Structure 1
Amino acid sequence: MSPAHRARAVQPIVRALATGLRPRVPASPSPGLVLTSTAAVAWATGGASPAIDRTAATDTVWLAVPADPAAPCTVITTVVEAPRLAAETPFAELGWPIVAVGWSDPGEFVRATETALRSEAADIASDGHPAFGIDISHDVLARRMALTEPEIADLRSLAADATTAVEGALRAWRPGDTDRTVAASIAAHAESVGASTPVLLVGGDDRLRRFRHPVPVGAVIEDVVMAVLVAQRGGLHVALTRYAARPGAAAALADRLAATRAVHAAVLAETRPGATGSTLMAAIDAAYRAAGYPGAWREHYQGGPIGFAQREFEIAPGDVTSPWWDFALPETVAMAWNPSVAGGAKDEDTYLVTAHGVELLTASTDWPMVDCGAVRRPDVLLVTDGKGD
């Protein structure tokens, strides 16, 4: 979908946030809100402008959203980015003026926001930026988890491209290749379709058995390789994990992988709109016990909602005092589960969860699969002569 189409679809949600604000001073009207984080800006603008610094929490593009629904949003950026945004984004089509500020003084962004919303920073809401007086970051995150139809279409497209990148690289893997060779193949394919790789892990053999997060280090892989990818495009994220191995190495890992798949299937059965962090955590705990690995969830992240972050929040028992612990999943939420057990076994994919059921987004089209109760899960790609069989 085009960024303009996505932005129009999400505008009623963004505008509802701005018009529904409670002002700091009850007798005064709320001026509106400003979105400053890379994730929130991507959400509200339809992913119109890829982040310049992919590691930055605060974007070089801000969106000032007035409480008056008849007033246009204002795009605030630097003099460096303004010409590109004017030429290559749909902001003019959307009726949003672009205000350019100097690149050297971050305070200019704040002052431009005050001008756009005709208010002092202390009275303006934001997605957590410390310069503004009202923090509605929780509300922004909660609203953006409920995906619109254009976002779902883009998520499906990204998931297909990410799956192709990972599975293609593992099909090309030959015993004796390094982990960096596999990682480079995945990254190259992702970049060729306009996606970035905020998480890219490739490891094999002894490093796979020893480390949950085997970052590529140039190690030669002879017997078994695992590739983990979180791909991002237009602000949206998907995640998946796949394996390739010689038959002997695959057999040695089979029981552990079967356990992770069983956990995955059990938790997936409880994943539906209305489920909460507490109910899902209980399902995770019970599933590990049933699989013969009681308490193994303590050893690694388990997953959670995915969308405009690689996980919007993690399902974890430490969240019992967090608002997310009893947060009910909305309809049309994306979820990525990644149960694992020690010794190199992990099972991960991304799903769309709706009232109609669970849709596997990172679906394999030509990959070995294995039955796991009511679902089928990706198996290990067997390699005998250096090419996938």
Structure 2
Amino acid sequence: KEEGLDKEDFQFIVNQWYERDLLDGLIRKYRLGGDCYFPEVNNLQEEIKQLHFSLLPGEIKRYRILGKETSKIVSKICKNIRPGETENEIRARLAQYLWSKNINPHLILIGSDERIFAYRHPIPKGKKIRKYVMVVVCAERDGLIVNMTRFVYFGLLPQELKEKLYEVAKVDASFITNTRPGKKV
């Protein structure tokens, strides 16, 4: 479920990737391109592949610097969050700090309490925070974008939440361990 996409000007068409009915209807209506083989779809695999390049050593250095700076800012924001603040107030403060370091926030998502579980990508609202906050940012500088998510919980962390966070950390650790230049994930 995606928050904010329930307006009348959107029509969701959902099917399984292997079902042909939707694809057949789109093929009759539009010219389509893709990165996999379908007889009626223009194969753009090589063109799309060219868009995926490894970073050069200088870019890797700048990417790491951007990650460290963004992490410091997000950590500072998270340490200063207080119950009763609104999600929008946190978003504004985070954007201000990022801009002050010449970092462009392409995306800021803030969700709190039940909204964290109700929406995968919670759009910040005027909702007041009670116990639990998720802060997500996609931060860009000079064409490089870092993404990060942080959680803040006020009080004793419930066991169920501890277990969920542990499982997510295992997945993250696996990706970090196995993501290397030239290595397929």
How far residue 252 of structure 1 moved from its aligned partner, in angstroms, is 4.5
Separation (CA, whole Å) in 1 of partners of 2:94 and 2:80: 11
Separation (CA, whole Å) in 1 of partners of 2:91 and 2:157: 21
Contact 1:202 1:227 in 2 (8 A): yes
The counterpart of 1:221, out of the listed 129, 134, 149, is 129
The counterpart of 2:63, out of the listed 155, 163, 169, is 155
Question: Aligned ranges for residues 99-248 of structure 1 at < 5 Å?
Answer: 137-138=47-48, 140-142=50-52, 145-248=53-156
Contact 2:113 2:130 in 1 (8 A): yes
* Alpha-carbon distance change, 216 to 246 in structure 1, aligned in 2, over 3 angstroms: same
Separation (CA, whole Å) in 1 of partners of 2:65 and 2:177: 25
Separation (CA, whole Å) in 1 of partners of 2:159 and 2:95: 29
How far residue 210 of structure 1 moved from its aligned partner, in angstroms, is 1.3
What is the identity, as a one-letter code, of the residue corresponding to 1:155? Y
Contact 2:88 2:125 in 1 (8 A): yes
Indicate the residue corresponding to 1:273 in structure 2: 181
Contact 1:223 1:249 in 2 (8 A): no
Contact 2:54 2:181 in 1 (8 A): no
How far residue 236 of structure 1 moved from its aligned partner, in angstroms, is 0.6
What is the identity, as a one-letter code, of the residue corresponding to 2:48? H
Give the 3-state SS of the residue equivalent to 1:228 in structure 2: strand
Contact 1:165 1:185 in 2 (8 A): no
Give the 3-state SS of the residue equivalent to 2:91 in structure 1: helix
What is the identity, as a one-letter code, of the residue corresponding to 1:270? N
* Alpha-carbon distance change, 214 to 250 in structure 1, aligned in 2, over 3 angstroms: farther
How far residue 275 of structure 1 moved from its aligned partner, in angstroms, is 2.8
Separation (CA, whole Å) in 2 of partners of 1:153 and 1:146: 13
Give the 3-state SS of the residue equivalent to 1:274 in structure 2: coil
The TM-score with structure 2 as length reference comes to 0.69
How far residue 219 of structure 1 moved from its aligned partner, in angstroms, is 0.7
Contact 1:226 1:243 in 2 (8 A): yes
Separation (CA, whole Å) in 2 of partners of 1:250 and 1:150: 43
Separation (CA, whole Å) in 2 of partners of 1:190 and 1:250: 32
* Alpha-carbon distance change, 250 to 231 in structure 1, aligned in 2, over 3 angstroms: farther
Which structure shows the bigger proportion of residues in helix conformation?
2
The TM-score with structure 1 as length reference comes to 0.34
Separation (CA, whole Å) in 2 of partners of 1:251 and 1:202: 23
What is the identity, as a one-letter code, of the residue corresponding to 1:182? I
Give the 3-state SS of the residue equivalent to 1:162 in structure 2: helix
Separation (CA, whole Å) in 2 of partners of 1:253 and 1:147: 36
Aligned residues: 141
Contact 1:197 1:231 in 2 (8 A): yes
Separation (CA, whole Å) in 2 of partners of 1:247 and 1:177: 16
Separation (CA, whole Å) in 2 of partners of 1:272 and 1:156: 14
Separation (CA, whole Å) in 1 of partners of 2:82 and 2:159: 18
Query: Which structure's CA Rg is the greater one?
Result: 1
Query: C-alpha root-mean-square deviation of aligned residues, in Å?
Result: 2.0
Give the 3-state SS of the residue equivalent to 2:127 in structure 1: coil
Contact 1:224 1:243 in 2 (8 A): yes
